[in-house]
Structure 1
Amino acid sequence: MDTGSRIYVAGHRGLVGSAIVRRLQALGHANLITRSHRELDLLEQAAVRRFFELEKPEYVFLAAAKVGGIHANDTYPVDFIRDNISIQTNVIDAAYRNGCNKLLFLGSSCIYPKLCPQPIKEEYLLTAPLEPTNEWYAIAKIAGIKVCQAYRKQYGFDAIAAMPTNLYGPGDSFHPENSHVLPALIRRFQEAKENGLPEVTIWGTGTPRREFLYVEDLADALVFLMQNYSEAEHINVGCGEDMTIMELTEVVAKIVGFEGTIYTDPSKPDGTPRKLLDVSRLAQTGWKAATCLEDGIAKTYAWYLAQIKSNK
């Protein structure tokens, strides 16, 4: 993949896709192909095939997906399993049929069992039951891995799969109900600060442990893997460190400037008790995350404030 290669970034307006575009542009890639949902509905197989026949991308970053937090996954199971399976199958098949050199499929660390040994190695996939609140999305992503492996086995198509840990950064969703934990916390503490609220209550007990990766680091890792990784087995992408949700909450509150009391609500679901990826295989390829959590949250908070200002 050189700076003149035709590169399609599916999902370029999302958290990950937009970061991939920024990273590729920073490296001098000028021949990027993007389409909005209005321009190309990836759920429509015929439309996807026509697009690939016309554009003939040489490399594909498949970052398009139906995503959301615990509430969204638990409320809309049909949307999460149906839409994600359709999107990834349509794109992978069309890429192969139209001579694409290589495709990178982006999954999620929720593919692993709920009570997985920690840190989580790639080989732990499909060894025990999934977390029930997001199993529909997880099953779709597992199917994506297997589709990549099937096309590699049957047709020799160079399709690889990367499984990132929990992500955050510029471009994230701050929806009051359907966002992930970190942007949800930023929004809640900002609104509490603006309204002078004395307290904030978070979902669950605050004891689950989570790993967080700044999305700009992920984009750097994905471009690196496109250039340097070509194996059937999926590869974990993370920073190799985690913290409790309460610890994360306290960091966010400090950065936002909320000085009130923080309470937990044990009646709400915690999700998986711990989710820390083993990134030793990634480290062996020569890649390592560069952004510490505090710096990443500060940059994300600044981006969020800018969005609020621009929308007024």
Structure 2
Amino acid sequence: MINFKSKIYVAGHRGLVGSAIVRKLNEKGYKNIVFREKNKLDLTDQVQVAKFLKKQKPDFVFIAAAKVGGIYSNKNFKADYITQNLQIQTNLIYSSYLAGVRNLIFLGSSCIYPRNSKQPIKEKYLLTGKLEETNDAYAVAKIAGIKMCESFNEQYKCNYKCLMPANTFGPNDNYDEKNSHFLPALILKSHRIKINNLRNITLWGNGKVKREFIHVDDLAEACVFFMKKKTDHSLINIGTGKDYTIDYYANTISKIILKKKIKIHYDRSKPNGVKRKVLDISLAKKYGWKPKLNLKKSIIKTYNSFLKEIKK
């Protein structure tokens, strides 16, 4: 049973999701949290990871560590994505088992589901169709992590859960133009337009594809909720259950950040990705979890955190 004295290891504690999990754990009274900086623990090194977990013997492990990025990065560095993610998650899951850890949450991504999946996407749609080619290497790695957790549950009676979030954003996000996801890249571009008093913005694709986003604080809340929850399912979607077009997000963010409407140009020579991707979160709701933050409040909260980060 996980309680306030339980030792909890958060892998990837400096990233978008990992840092939010640490904040949420502290907020709720969990103080025995362990983590290690990259320069002190290389998660792609099996020996280092095994030694660390054997010594620490945590009661619970969150795997939020991963190599992540946007369409450009996923499409052009596939070998890095599949290799590093397979190494990180395999080392952490297997070494956790060897260290006697029987409670773990592995975090993935909604990109694990087929490109042309029925909408909204149910957990049972996994492996029922072809993946989106622009990020299939990352998706295959995450699918392997899910199957690894399921296999340890089946063979060794572990309690390894896999939470699959929608596109996530919030504090500590990556705002690099070529390596970030759509929403943080849009926040950065809108901020630059604001400080330079510009009137135009250029985005990839045609603006018509639909995406679902969840604020990282909502995801962290789900992580802590399911840390304590006994479930009969190892794979659970985490999202808002609502999706909007890229054009809607662009106009909403411009109104929030710029306080005015701007002209949006779409570069149709660049990829769109899948046409629509929204998660069915009925299973998570059945267990008693649901998102709390609405989109506009989430964007305002994220932009304020972005302004603090660029001042550092």
TM-score by length of 1: 0.98
Identity of aligned residues (%): 48
Give how far 1:235 is off. Answer: 0.5
Structure 2 residue matching 1:228: 3-state secondary structure: coil
**Deviation string for 1:55-93 (max 9, x for gaps)?**
101100110000000000001001100100110010001
In 2, Cα distance between equivalents of 1:198 and 1:232:
49
**Deviation string for 1:129-187 (max 9, x for gaps)?**
00000000000000000000111111111111010001001111101210000000000
Give how far 1:232 is off. Answer: 4.7
RMSD: 0.9
Q: Which amino acid aligns with 1:302?
A: N
Give how far 1:231 is off. Answer: 3.4
Q: Which amino acid aligns with 1:293?
A: L
Equivalence map 1:46-85=2 (5 Å): 46-85=47-86
User: Contact between 1:149 and 1:232, CA under 8 Å: does it hold in 2?
Assistant: no
Equivalence map 1:192-231=2 (5 Å): 192-231=193-232
User: Contact between 1:114 and 1:272, CA under 8 Å: does it hold in 2?
Assistant: yes
Higher alpha-carbon deviation: 255-264 or 163-172: 255-264
Give how far 1:98 is off. Answer: 0.9
Question: Could you tell me which residue of structure 1 aligns to residue 262 of structure 2?
Answer: 260
Equivalence map 1:107-186=2 (5 Å): 107-186=108-187
Give how far 1:101 is off. Answer: 3.1
In 1, Cα distance between equivalents of 2:138 and 2:184:
20
Higher alpha-carbon deviation: 222-231 or 15-24: 222-231
In 2, Cα distance between equivalents of 1:44 and 1:101:
22
In 2, Cα distance between equivalents of 1:11 and 1:229:
24
**Deviation string for 1:99-145 (max 9, x for gaps)?**
11301000100000011100000000001100000000000000000
Q: Which runs of 5+ in 2 are unaligned?
A: none
In 2, Cα distance between equivalents of 1:230 and 1:86:
27
User: Contact between 2:79 and 2:137, CA under 8 Å: does it hold in 1?
Assistant: yes
User: Contact between 2:251 and 2:261, CA under 8 Å: does it hold in 1?
Assistant: no
Give how far 1:198 is off. Answer: 2.3
In 1, Cα distance between equivalents of 2:231 and 2:47:
29
User: Contact between 1:160 and 1:231, CA under 8 Å: does it hold in 2?
Assistant: no
In 1, Cα distance between equivalents of 2:46 and 2:154:
23
Q: Deviating runs (4+, > 6 A) in structure 1? A: none
In 2, Cα distance between equivalents of 1:261 and 1:159:
47
Question: Could you tell me which residue of structure 2 aligns to residue 92 of structure 1?
Answer: 93
